[in-house]
Structure 1
């Protein structure tokens, strides 16, 4: 039997009721934060694995967290899930003036500019960069900060300018390392990472995704050298660094 969105809303209400689940009743907005984050990451993982059935399930789990959160807010007299849907509906129309208004967008890049233009009008109560959640993964947050600054014209003109900045930050990190001052090293390392994220932005690379891919490659290669060591009846800790490097290069050549 097919169930509607309204059925799911009613189920979320029931689970919070006295006749429902004790665990559900105990949850608060604060306790749901971790679950929302976990479910969002599980959606991303399903996409990366191209597992469509898993994606369908994880999208459902994430949707339930939205309903769960909305139900708690409803009980506290703040807003309802219908209010969430209504606000979203009209926001999508406002932020597509090139679709529902007189403005035009010849391509996706121009459409994004129209979207951000409308968003800036809506968010005038907040400072531009404070709109970016601090809870975002650091690389993603850095990229969003760079994008926001760029939208108001605070940016480098070309990629080569960013490369110069990266080199400058690397030199400053090297000086900090020479001084052996930990606070200075940490600061300069952070500046270098931020400049590299800006370089990724200019190269149209998603820094967060790119970093995950690099980590995945490292893990996959490391697992393979562990297997090769096992074939030699050894553990990695029993190999010399030179032997491990040779296995690493062998794995790289194998692709």
Structure 2
């Protein structure tokens, strides 16, 4: 059914007149829809997952009794939003929602005041002895653990658990901010204000409509603004050296690659790597992302086994190589500056040539 057929169908049912405004979308567009549009919204044949997402989003804005119309096989089914959230469709349908006929929920202002109050009570005299003994360093383990549990909930598509684990992670953030406040460094409000200003500053292509620089929305533009803002001398300055080795290597490669210097990452060794006589790059070819990830995981798993059999700790080996690369890259940038060059102003081809010359002598 095309758009014209849908309009004719709706007009025939008395649900739309030629003078009415409307928006017609496919179910896949639900995550990006504004549900506050002041006219009729028609969603074409949403899947059960898409319909459930619409219900969750709408219920966050409108009261349970807000009307929803479902049209299928010439029949009209009138439901409330709450009823629709539990509805199991047997056939394809058109979903009609008119926000003008829906009463909005009273907004509940977001506030951390209760959680901050609880934190202050825990840290006050007579509070929790364990909490009162903690400092920023002693809490690092728990911050890592809570972050891992958030990721685990995401991996399992467990939204209820994700809500809980995000709360635990937020508690760690508030814990650190409260300790800093007691020490006179900053408050939780300073944390919120700081990150908000930073996101606006780093997205001029969104918040500054007068900008004419088309590069600001690229990864290269992001890295350049970040480096200037932080007054960092080196491209890899600010990369935490304590990261797990694989994550450290990924961040190094991403930063170097985002500056158009991907060729500098070539260690010269990968051409030798093969499996059963087939180059590893060929082993990873697949049109499906999940299949490519599975193949890549198998290759990494095999490589870990080979290294262990050689008495090499894979984590330590990659970490040492990554730190060595960072140090060498710092030295390379210093050498460029002494010769009157800047990496950010050097063409990638010229940078690669200078890099090869530097590596051959260091």
Length-normalised TM-score, structure 1 = 0.60
Q: Distance in 1 between matches of 2:295 and 2:244?
A: 12
Q: Quickly say closer, same or farther: Cα 1:65–1:210, change in 2 above 3 A.
A: farther
Query: Contact 2:205/2:217 (CA < 8 Å) preserved in 1?
Result: no
Q: Distance in 1 between matches of 2:295 and 2:172?
A: 28
Q: Distance in 2 between matches of 1:50 and 1:212?
A: 23
RMSD, matched Cα: 3.9
| Aligned pair partner of 2:271 in 142, 147, 167 | 167
2:262 alignment partner, SS class:
coil
Query: Contact 1:97/1:103 (CA < 8 Å) preserved in 2?
Result: yes
Question: Residues 216-251 of structure 1, C-alpha deviation per residue, up to 9 Å, x if partnerless?
Answer: x99xxxxxxxxxxxxxxxxxxxxxxxxxxxxxxxxx
Determine the structure 1 residue equivalent to 2:157: 50
Determine the structure 2 residue equivalent to 1:91: 198
> After superposition, where does 1:27-46 map in structure 2 within 5 Å?
27-46=134-153
Length-normalised TM-score, structure 2 = 0.43
Instruction: Name the larger-Rg structure.
Output: 2
Question: Residues 119-172 of structure 1, C-alpha deviation per residue, up to 9 Å, x if partnerless?
Answer: 122122353213111222211110110111123333229xxx95964125x59x
Q: Distance in 2 between matches of 1:162 and 1:214?
A: 22
Q: Tell me whether 1:20 sits opposite 2:124 in the alignment.
A: no
Query: Contact 1:15/1:21 (CA < 8 Å) preserved in 2?
Result: yes
Query: Contact 1:16/1:24 (CA < 8 Å) preserved in 2?
Result: yes
Using CA pairs under 8 Å that are at least 6 residues apart, name the structure with larger relative contact order, 1 or 2: 1
Q: Quickly say closer, same or farther: Cα 1:20–1:210, change in 2 above 3 A.
A: farther
Question: Residues 54-104 of structure 1, C-alpha deviation per residue, up to 9 Å, x if partnerless?
Answer: 111100000000000111111111111111111101001001010011336
Determine the structure 1 residue equivalent to 2:211: 103
> After superposition, where does 1:1-255 map in structure 2 within 5 Å?
4-101=111-208, 102-103=210-211, 110-125=217-232, 127-156=234-263, 165-168=269-272, 170=273, 214=298
Richer in strand (by share): 2
Q: Distance in 1 between matches of 2:217 and 2:237?
A: 24
Q: Distance in 2 between matches of 1:134 and 1:164?
A: 24
